[in-house]
């Protein structure tokens, strides 16, 4: 398997993700965020160039949605949950990345596996001051399975043609100029 050096993306700081796909029984207070502290092994490019498999997700109103509806738009899709400590740490930087990439028409789409639905995600966004990100849901993990995510957080960089360019397992500091530049370079 050939790995492609991706420059700044390999420098992102990440921590092993939550490898559990189900939320704990009651979703109490969101976990406290801890800063990522270990460097990642690097982005995984083994699926580079392959189309993202179709998977039905839900929007904040509970209506079906598909990434294929966004074909023609570059994406960074982040699989996460409010109960996942590395995910919680990463969300403010994803919000910043979304704002940085908006002028380039690159969408940042967090896809929550919380079973409590949109109300849990909306409450989390409000409590943590997260703005500029849509509420998207994968409560049964169908998208995570279709996209072969081994845990969360997992971020997939998808080009305009709907092909995966790279993925990163674990949290990262997406708020840096280097992270935004790396995403831009990957989706060209």
Give the model confidence (pLDDT) of 99-141 as tens digits.
999 999 999 999 999 999 999 999 999 999 999 999 999 988 9
Is the pLDDT at 44 greater than 70? The verdict is: no
Percent of the chain predicted with pLDDT > 70: 75
Give the tens place of pLDDT for each residue, 134-150. Answer: 999 998 899 999 999 99
| Cis? peptide before 153, omega within 30° of 0 | yes
Q: How far apart, in whole angstroms, are the C-alpha atoms of residue 115 and residue 120?
A: 8
Question: Could you report how far apart the first and last alpha carbons of the chain are, in Å?
Answer: 23
CATH number for the domain whose boundaries are 42-187: 3.40.30.10
**Mean pLDDT of the 83-111 span:** 96
Quick one: pLDDT at residue 45?
A: 63
Q: Which pLDDT band holds residue 70 (cuts at 50, 70, 90)?
A: confident
Q: How far apart, in whole angstroms, are the C-alpha atoms of residue 104 and residue 30?
A: 32
Which letter, b or e, does each residue of 18-43 get, where b requires 16 or more Cβ atoms within 10 Å of its Cβ?
beebebeeebeebbebeebeeebebb
Mutual angle of helices 85-101 and 118-128, in 10-degree steps: 80
Tell me the backbone φ, ψ of residue 23, rounded to 5 degrees: -75, 155
Q: Which pLDDT band holds residue 38 (cuts at 50, 70, 90)?
A: very low
pTM listed for this prediction: 0.77
Q: How far apart, in whole angstroms, are the C-alpha atoms of residue 87 and residue 82?
A: 7
All structural domains of the chain with their residue ranges: 42-187
């Amino acid at each position: 398997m050939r790995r492609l050096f991706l420059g700044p993306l390999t420098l992102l700081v990440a921590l092993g993700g939550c490898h559990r796909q189900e939320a704990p029984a009651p979703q109490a207070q969101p976990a406290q965020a801890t800063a990522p502290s270990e460097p990642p092994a690097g982005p995984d490019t083994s699926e580079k160039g392959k189309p993202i498999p179709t998977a039905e997700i839900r929007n904040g109103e509970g209506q079906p949605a598909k990434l294929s509806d966004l074909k023609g738009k570059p994406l960074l899709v982040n699989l996460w949950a409010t109960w996942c400590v590395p995910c919680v740490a990463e969300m403010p930087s994803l919000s910043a990345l979304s704002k940085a990439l908006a002028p380039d028409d690159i969408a940042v789409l967090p896809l929550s596996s919380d079973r409590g639905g949109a109300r849990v995600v909306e409450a989390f966004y409000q409590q943590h001051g997260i703005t500029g990100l849509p509420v998207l849901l994968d409560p049964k993990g169908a998208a995570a399975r279709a996209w072969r995510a081994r845990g969360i957080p997992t971020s997939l960089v998808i080009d305009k043609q709907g092909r995966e360019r790279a993925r990163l397992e674990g949290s990262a500091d997406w708020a840096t100029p280097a992270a935004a530049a790396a995403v831009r370079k990957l989706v060209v």
